[in-house]
Structure 1
């Protein structure tokens, strides 16, 4: 008598879950996310844990770092550590709000114009082309200088409304490539509505591109906010890292040897830029499997022949998933 045995299949993680785990396991992305999380925490609790009022004057003028003032003091006795802590909230708020506004506009204009086509699509494409050729930073300076009051919200909105065009062009090009795919044609043949096809068929395939564009816009917004503060076009009653550098430059801190006045703010800018860039690199490697792996060569002998194999090369299968190959 034949005995039939059955084995229970081992559940396999869903492709989406595997992709998320692969992104989190990326050392660049992980390092960037940890640094961003630290800055986000400082942005929330910074004004509460600052040891001094950043605008409060004291008797210790132009003092170097010490136990009382970790980052030293200014020419007015103001605590630089408190200024850097309080200024983190302004930088993070402007950067991420501007990134959200620009990303929403780029998705609306880019994906819509790429999928719909016709006169409406060409009109939206022409609108993005107009904003693309306008120099963003000079326009931001003119707008903020013309306003009676420049708050963080105003600066974030101005940066976001003037920096969406490039991402819109990228999303339009990707949408033009996706709208003729078989699964989109099948969804259209079954009678699904246009907006359902855009939201559930096209948008999931643009997630990584949208995320990369968002990170790039945040970097641009942070640099723009610091530039505006450094040249004096910023919130008059607030503090950010650019304001610290503005007062250090106006009081010739470098000539006086007061390195502690501008180095902490400069390091904070560099760390935040590094964190955003690492996240962006992680997204690029997540989207492009060929960027993953170290690319070292392994030499093996097979049937008396020497075979060189690339370790870490990740080919892409026909269904869009990646398969790890190891020698």
Structure 2
């Protein structure tokens, strides 16, 4: 475990992505301390450009964009992490159990997974959100969580089938260990990287999908999130009147968080995947060889270097 954490620290993608995600989490958790009033309170003139008093400008209703951004961060992260947790729990439970037990249970789960994968996600979410009407952010998170588990279940099932025939699993079965212990102690730890990647990918997907639904007017207009900020900016024709800051702030917030989660996802994939890890090791080896060649070229002509690295004169 300590070796894995050291590898995480050495990976630049993981370090930078983790820095971005932790920064957003601190902003979300410290929202009451970073703001001085309610986000929907009118505090200045409409469409006021960024200045010393309102660092991110104001909306058409005279609301401070900075306060909307801070509280919107907390809402969007809560939706992303909540739906991501639902997706991971459902997908992992169905995938691992189907891959381990097999038989009729595997056939039923595979059928449900195939049906869920065939149904287009965005049109389904649009229909459900329109049917509910002005869905709150938490309702959107629940809808996304219970409709987006299929991909994770499929990947987890395939990996469980691979582990099912390993020697340590067969040894546990011969020792008459209960199925729940084999799943939780033997199988799930070997799926930790896949589960983590599924969780990070689900967070990215959920935040973007929530912003899309709210931008289309299918969310609660009184809620404060990045999606409702874009929705209100569209209704106010912010770009037409030159209030670019209303659109720029939520768009940049979504883009930076998505970049941080993607870097974290790619970095963990490089560490967990032996092929990618080997490739990165080869790159470091080639870089070291180039450094040694450059050092040998800079060695004086009256000195020679032996194979063990000792330099001696002629």
State the alpha-carbon separation in 2 of the partners of residues 253 and 236 from structure 1.
17
Aligned residues: 286
Q: In the superposition, relative to structure 1, how do residues 228 and 47 fare at CA in structure 2: closer, same or farther (>3 Å)?
A: farther
Whether the aligned pair in 2 keeps the contact of 1:54 and 1:83 (CA below 8 Å) is yes
Partner of 2:223: 238
Partner of 1:214: 199
1:103 and 2:88 matched: yes
Show structure 1 runs of 4+ deviating over 4 A: none
State the alpha-carbon separation in 1 of the partners of residues 214 and 276 from structure 2.
37
Partner of 1:324: none
Whether the aligned pair in 1 keeps the contact of 2:221 and 2:228 (CA below 8 Å) is no
Residue 257 of structure 1, CA deviation? 1.9
Partner of 1:56: 41
Identify the match of residue 186 of structure 2 among 201, 210, 220: 201
Higher normalized helix content (fraction of residues): 2
1:112 and 2:97 matched: yes
Partner of 1:128: 113
Residue 250 of structure 1, CA deviation? 2.0
1:256 and 2:224 matched: no
Question: Comparing 35-44 with 288-297, which one deviates more in the overlay?
Answer: 288-297
Residue 58 of structure 1, CA deviation? 4.0
Partner of 2:24: 39
- After superposition, the CA RMSD in angstroms is 1.7
Length-normalised TM-score, structure 1: 0.83
Partner of 2:176: 191
1:25-62: per-residue Cα shift (whole Å, max 9, x none)?
32211211121111111112224422443222244221
Partner of 1:267: 252
State the alpha-carbon separation in 2 of the partners of residues 120 and 265 from structure 1.
44
Partner of 2:159: 174
Length-normalised TM-score, structure 2: 0.86
Residue 166 of structure 1, CA deviation? 0.4
Residue 178 of structure 1, CA deviation? 0.8
Partner of 2:305: none
State the alpha-carbon separation in 2 of the partners of residues 98 and 138 from structure 1.
18
1:165 and 2:150 matched: yes
State the alpha-carbon separation in 2 of the partners of residues 244 and 114 from structure 1.
43
Partner of 1:321: none
State the alpha-carbon separation in 2 of the partners of residues 49 and 201 from structure 1.
45
Whether the aligned pair in 1 keeps the contact of 2:134 and 2:219 (CA below 8 Å) is no
Whether the aligned pair in 1 keeps the contact of 2:84 and 2:199 (CA below 8 Å) is yes
Whether the aligned pair in 1 keeps the contact of 2:87 and 2:148 (CA below 8 Å) is yes
Whether the aligned pair in 2 keeps the contact of 1:95 and 1:156 (CA below 8 Å) is yes
Residue 129 of structure 1, CA deviation? 1.1
Q: Which structure is higher in RCO with an 8 Å CA cutoff and minimum separation 6?
A: 2
- Segments of 5+ residues of structure 2 without an aligned counterpart are 294-314
- Segments of 5+ residues of structure 1 without an aligned counterpart are 1-15, 302-327
Whether the aligned pair in 2 keeps the contact of 1:58 and 1:76 (CA below 8 Å) is no
Whether the aligned pair in 2 keeps the contact of 1:136 and 1:163 (CA below 8 Å) is yes
1:287 and 2:272 matched: yes
